[in-house]
């Protein structure tokens, strides 16, 4: 999964809770199962514990628009979906660059693995980093034997500086059309992008969270575009995005 971060420098955050797999979620994936909204029973349990407002009965179909047939009216509809539910799927927005990004990811995985095996890795507060910039963390005990090592890749050394295709996911004019309708014209590109990597024999769980807990923005942000370079779904149990519609209010 790779992320692009954009934020507004002028608009203050709304009061209230927002706990979802992203704070502001834009998603591109050719398979409809790649994003999953929590069910009514799950929402009831979660809502009672946090006091957050949730939208019952919202499906992925309610959150998506077709980014391959673009117009001002489509951008207006997309922004309205986000303002209503706090999550949005822009179907097909990164279709032209997804294969290139996937190839960059595969190449970086091979490089990180080589550096790890050669011992070119150093300890950092978050875990360990190989010389290519890939972050490694301890392998969970349940998969350590299957994976064959005590460290697992978490964030690859692929970013805006090493992959123009990844940068394109953040500056696509269609994406910016929607972001501007949400936060206004003063948009900053925040950070350098991230690629979260789930190894085939395990991977690291990423629980429901707020990005504000990490970045502590004073103003309205970040708006995060989340993208998958592979097919995921609930049925495959291989890491689909979960969102809780309405919790941005």
Give me the mean pLDDT over the 72-78 stretch. Answer: 96
Reported as a single tens digit per residue, the pLDDT across 26-44 is 333 333 335 555 555 554 4
Residue 249 belongs to some domain of the structure: no
Residue 187 belongs to some domain of the structure: yes
Output the pLDDT for position 212: 67
Reported as a single tens digit per residue, the pLDDT across 210-236 is 776 676 666 655 666 666 666 666 666
Average of per-residue pLDDT values in the chain: 75
Per the structure, the count of domains in the chain is 1
Omega of the bond prior to 43 within 30 degrees of 0, cis?
A: no
Residue 110 pLDDT grade (very low, low, confident, very high; cuts 50, 70, 90): very high
Instruction: Say how many CA atoms lie within 13 Å of 33 toward its Cβ.
Output: 10
Residue 248 belongs to some domain of the structure: no
Residue 130 belongs to some domain of the structure: yes
Mind giving me the DSSP string for 223-248?
A: EEEEE-SS---TTTTS--EEE-TTTT
Output the pLDDT for position 23: 31
Give me the mean pLDDT over the 18-22 stretch. Answer: 29
Q: Which domain holds residue 193?
A: 2-243
Output the pLDDT for position 237: 67
Q: Which residues pair with 223 in a beta bridge?
A: 6
Give me the mean pLDDT over the 198-203 stretch. Answer: 74
Output the pLDDT for position 124: 97
Rounded to an integer, what distance in angstroms lies between the CA atom of residue 30 and that of residue 12? 34
Output the pLDDT for position 71: 96
Lowest mean pLDDT among 26-40, 53-67, 92-106, 162-176: 26-40
Rounded to an integer, what distance in angstroms lies between the CA atom of residue 174 and that of residue 68? 10
**Position 184 pLDDT exceeds 80:** yes
Within 10 angstroms of residue 94's Cβ, the number of other Cβ atoms is 28
Residue 217 belongs to some domain of the structure: yes
What region does 239 belong to: left with phi over 0, alpha with psi -120 to 50, or beta? Answer: left
Q: Read off the pTM.
A: 0.75
Output the pLDDT for position 199: 83
């Amino acid at each position: 999964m790779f992320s692009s971060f954009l934020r507004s420098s002028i608009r203050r955050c709304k009061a209230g809770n927002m706990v979802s797999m992203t704070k502001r979620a834009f998603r591109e994936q050719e398979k409809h199962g790649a994003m999953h909204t929590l069910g009514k029973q799950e929402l009831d349990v979660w809502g009672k514990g946090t006091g957050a407002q949730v939208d019952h009965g919202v499906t992925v179909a309610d959150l998506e628009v077709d980014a391959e047939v673009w117009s001002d009216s489509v951008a207006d509809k997309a922004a309205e979906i986000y303002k209503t539910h706090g999550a949005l799927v822009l179907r097909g927005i990164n279709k032209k660059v997804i294969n290139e990004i996937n190839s960059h990811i595969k190449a970086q995985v091979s490089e990180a693995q080589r550096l790890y095996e050669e011992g070119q890795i150093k300890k950092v507060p978050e875990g360990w980093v190989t010389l290519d910039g890939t972050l490694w963390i301890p392998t969970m005990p349940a998969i350590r034997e299957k994976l064959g090592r005590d460290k697992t890749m978490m964030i690859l050394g692929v970013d805006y500086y090493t992959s123009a295709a990844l940068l394109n996911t953040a500056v696509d004019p269609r994406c910016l059309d929607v972001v501007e309708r949400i936060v206004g014209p003063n948009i900053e590109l925040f950070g350098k992008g991230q690629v979260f990597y789930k190894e085939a024999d395990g991977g690291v769980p990423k629980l429901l969270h707020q990005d504000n807990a990490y970045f502590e923005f004073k103003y309205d942000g970040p708006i995060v575009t989340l993208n998958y370079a592979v097919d995921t779904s609930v049925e495959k149990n291989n890491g689909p995005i979960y969102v809780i519609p309405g919790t941005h209010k």
